[in-house]
Chain A
């Protein structure tokens, strides 16, 4: 008898999250997927099946834009993985060193850019690097490197990397905080046991701490992946929707925005835009699945 009673409190506690999440995430998501299967003929919306995807991948112009955006997106992600996360881990390792003074100050200072708006970060860095008013050319002149100054944000070869590094500067606080928290949970007994066996200093980091924080690094990688493939704001704030120069900073987010909402004389095409959004969703889904099933399940966990 008692077991059959409906446990209302579960429903009550779940309801707000389920309702809000459904209304603002799940319904729009499926609506976008549905929209990508339609097209507009005259003023009518008609079902077109996979026609939009055929255009996106089959038409030489559309597919060139798409692959360009995807390749740029991968480069953006690789820079984050190679620069942001190792630096984050390094900073966390240094910060968690017991003899470091002013650790709280450094931690706060490094984390502050994370809470700044993309618009502020984009604008501030544009000014810093500006060839006309920026402090970068003068600072480099002052140390005798003036000849190496380039208008990095304006050159096809360097603009994407520059933007990726700006984004790294902004977000390096997040892996640092997560790893820092993970490092703090490692019990001192383990490290002390290691010391008795002669594992100290750098060796202790490589052999004891790093294996213990691997799950956190995995989480950070997947957060970076999702964040980078959904990125849009910084590029839009710094380079505008045309993602110049010559589309060298065009990532999937800006490509989708331009297509969906239109740009200047080009009218918006919500159906092609949804097709791109669906492709982005698929890419992220595949990436997350590879991580969840391929990597996370094989990761060893330690119980203290």
Chain B
């Protein structure tokens, strides 16, 4: 008897809980932005949940370097969350082609995004868009304004001025001129090569010419940024070969370094840590008066797991991500992640304002290796990390690095053969 009762009560609880969960849907977001966990939990998710009772959101990030591997395994195993944060270009395209991401072209909110904003999450022919664009990041240099005042140097506009500033700090000796390490490799490529490069290859023009096969990586515009990087080595701190990304961030925010080659995503972290005045300047141009270009990289979007159990609720959330409300909340909660939507959003953070103001003076482009060119093996992006770090360390000459990259690219990419 008692056994039966127990079974009955167990059954009853099961049914009750199922009934409750049918009304209250929890959607899980897969993301690599573990730095943003608190902002999602305290600001973004409550804002959505307040308007949409019955849908709760769980933000479940993994470490950035492992995200792609973790996500792919989860998707294959069918245990991934309902909402997938999308890397730009091929990583997400491959997920769409494998049937893991839903086509979202018919989402109303897509009207709020320009074609360029959508391009990073579209099929090559542009027929299907599978992620709602969230934000781009802009490259440049963040500097310690107090240090600049102390040593008495002005903001550099040209490359010569840039190195003059570095020399001034070198001579003064109280600051490490530039905080960047070559241990993790990606900073050298992302905050080095892709940061200063667009000024040499002319932004979109050069990038598209490379994809079309009209230019090659051994051409002057693509080698010259490496020659610049080779000069950086002298201005980095002692032992930069073993200096990691968090080391560099700490060196700068502790006020021990003057200049930090940056991406705008650093802004919120730096605001919390640095107790000195910070400013930013765009990558210096080769000659005074040259047209300037910035890397305004489409970095992050969010899509829908094609196998989600709650497609309707997920679409409601995605519509909200495409709204002006989300764009305002997101851009201001995460200064440095600039909304890709067409809405005119007021930035409150002064450093973020500085970064976004460059869009008016300079032409925007995205990172050269991301679209199409990193589809094959050897992977051009990974090779660029290696080459940039090697060039700064001085273990490979700019010309050798460029030749090696070109050879690798030409080995599988037809337009370059």
Contact = CB atoms under 8 A, between A and B. Distances in A.
Contact of A43 (B69, B87, B97, B242): B97
Interface in A155-170: 155-156
B68 A61 contact: no
A153 B242 contact: yes
A153 B240 CA distance: 11
Interface in A44-80: 61
Interface of B: 65, 68-69, 72-73, 87, 89-91, 94, 97-99, 181-186, 237-244, 247, 250-251, 369-370, 374, 377-379, 381-382, 385-386, 389-390, 393, 395, 408, 411
A30 interface: no
Interface in A230-256: 239-242, 244-247
A155 B239 CA distance: 9
Contacts of B87: 265
A264 B381 contact: yes
A194 to B, nearest CB: 51
Q: Could you tell me the dominant secondary structure of chain A's interface residues?
A: loop
Contacts of A211: none
A131 B237 contact: yes
A132 interface: yes
Contact of B369 (A130, A133, A265): A265
A132 B243 contact: yes
Contact of B65 (A130, A241, A246, A265): A241
A264 B242 contact: no
Contacts of A129: 242
Contact of B242 (A131, A246, A268): A131
A287 interface: no
Interface residues of A, number: 33
Interface string A247-274: 1000000000000011111111100000
A151 interface: yes
Contact of A265 (B73, B97, B244, B382): B382
Contacts of A242: 185, 382, 385-386
A152 interface: yes
Contacts of A245: 182-183, 185, 241, 389-390, 393, 395
Nearest to A40: B98
A130 B181 CA distance: 12
A202 B121 CA distance: 72
A245 B91 CA distance: 25
Closest 10 interchain pairs by CB? A131-B239, A154-B241, A154-B242, A261-B69, A151-B242, A151-B239, A266-B379, A265-B381, A265-B374, A153-B242
A288 B237 CA distance: 46
18 contacts: A61-B408, A130-B242, A131-B239, A131-B243, A133-B247, A151-B238, A151-B243, A153-B183, A154-B181, A155-B241, A246-B395, A261-B68, A261-B69, A264-B68, A264-B382, A265-B87, A266-B381, A268-B72
Nearest to B251: A132
Contacts of B239: 130-132, 137, 150-151, 154
Contacts of A131: 237-240, 242-243
A262 B243 contact: no
Nearest to B70: A261
Nearest to A61: B378
A249 to B, nearest CB: 11
Contacts of B182: 154, 245
Nearest to A153: B242
